Each structure stands twice: as C-alpha cells, then as structure tokens.
A and B are shown apart, each in its own frame.
Chain A
C-alpha cells in the first residue's frame, strides 16, 4: 500500500503503526486536497509533500489525534501557500492577521479595552446560505491557515478533532491558561479574517 504514496516509509525509520495510520488517512487527505485545488496532480503532489514533512517529525507525536491534526495542518498550509501564489487569491491590506506577533491583537481594542472602531464586529448576515458554497470553504481554509501555527493546531484539536481543553493540555504540555488564551486568539482572528475576506465582500 505504501507504493501508492511513493514514499519508502522504512527508509525514514517510521514505525509500523504510524505507517499504517498514515496509509489510512492518506485517501482522506487526497480527497480533501482535490476538493480545495480541483487539480488532481497538484493535490497528489501537495499530499506527498505534507506526508514527507510529517514523517520527518513523526517522533514528536504520540496520539493518533495529534498525528492527524499535524498532517492536516501541514497540508492546509501547503494548499494555502499555493493559493497565495495564484492570482485568484483574495488580498486585503487593511489588517495583517498573518502577523505571528501574539501582541498584534492589541490593535483590535483601544487603551480602555473597547473595540477599536475599525475592527468592530459586523453582522454576518445568513451564514447558512454561504456554507453551501464551495468558495466559502476555500476562504474558510485560507483563514484557518493564516492563524499562527500554534493557534491553528490548538484550535483544530479543539474544534476539528474535538478534544477537551484538558486533553489539549496533556497533548501539548502547556498550561490550561495558555490553551485558553491561544483558543481565544484563534477565534478572534478567525472572526476578523472571515469578516474581511468573506462577509465584508458580500455587503
């Protein structure tokens, strides 16, 4: 089955249980990439690259949930990189939410902790209607990928894999407060990103 992936797992010293797990989730990754990219060969390549960079760091991950989060976040990142290079990438210069600096959220609020007029939340209209559109999920993916890495991983563990914050604490070996702060930052960045990139354009 490994030959489907064209990756010689053994030469990378990947343990057998991880090999078979990656083989299991590989078709899911491929379908995911195809849905995003609509180019099968490109999807195949990006999945391959994502798996390669995942197995090079595989020993860092213990639970299967963590492995899945890890490989999918690499894949999402690669897809986002592709979108950034392609001309149909939506761009917005009003706020740089890709800034890795954790303090950059401060710009959303004034010195008294109130919403800065420029970043006040806007109504999202009818999200049910937008969710049936494929393009919405491309934007959604883009916003997820623009989260700083730690925020993306933590948020995906919580909302995609469905781990509790206590489980995330033991998986990532960070404090509960750090998890709460990271999730908060991820949510507020997503809210701002979707407002700008999707709901802003609709109004």
Chain B
C-alpha cells in the first residue's frame, strides 16, 4: 500500500462525499500514526474555510450593486 499518498487522496475525497466505514477506519488509524498527514488534513480543512471567506469577499462586493446572486438559481 502506498501510505501517505493514498491517504492524502482519501482526505481530499472526504471533502466531497462521506467515506465508507472501512475508509474512515483506514484514515483514522493512519492519522494516529502519521503527523504529516494529520497536518495535511488540517490544511485541507483550512483551505475550505479560506475559500468560504474568499467567496464572501466577492459577495460583499456584489451587494454594493444590488444584484441577485446567480448561485441561488
């Protein structure tokens, strides 16, 4: 098994779908042993938060023009 490389892929997938029980177990046990992947997982979560702030920066701008948000359609 390719350890960290495969785990980083699983970490990414966990952002887009719910992992199976087996996948979650594999992820958890690896993270308990590997601090690099733990740090990586944290960063992936932080990137998602950053993207939220980033898109709300654009929303702040767009409210100034009183424009309906096309994302609601």
Contact = CB atoms under 8 A, between A and B. Distances in A.
Interface in B47-71: 47-51, 53-55, 57-58, 61-62, 64-65, 67, 70-71
Contacts of B8: 184, 188
B11 to A, nearest CB: 8
For chain A, what secondary structure do more than half of its interface residues adopt (helix, strand, loop), or is it mixed?
helix
B61 A28 contact: yes
Interface of A: 21, 24-25, 27-28, 31-32, 35, 64-65, 68, 108-109, 112-115, 120-124, 127, 131, 137, 140, 158-162, 164-165, 180-181, 183-184, 187-188, 190-191, 194-195
Nearest to B7: A113
A114 B43 contact: no
B57 A191 contact: no
Given A28-B67, A68-B70, A137 B13 contact: no
Nearest to B9: A184
Given A27-B65, A64-B70, A137-B54, A180 B1 contact: no
A114 B55 CA distance: 34
A113 B16 CA distance: 23
A63 to B, nearest CB: 9
A24 B67 CA distance: 7
A180 B13 contact: yes
B42 A124 contact: yes
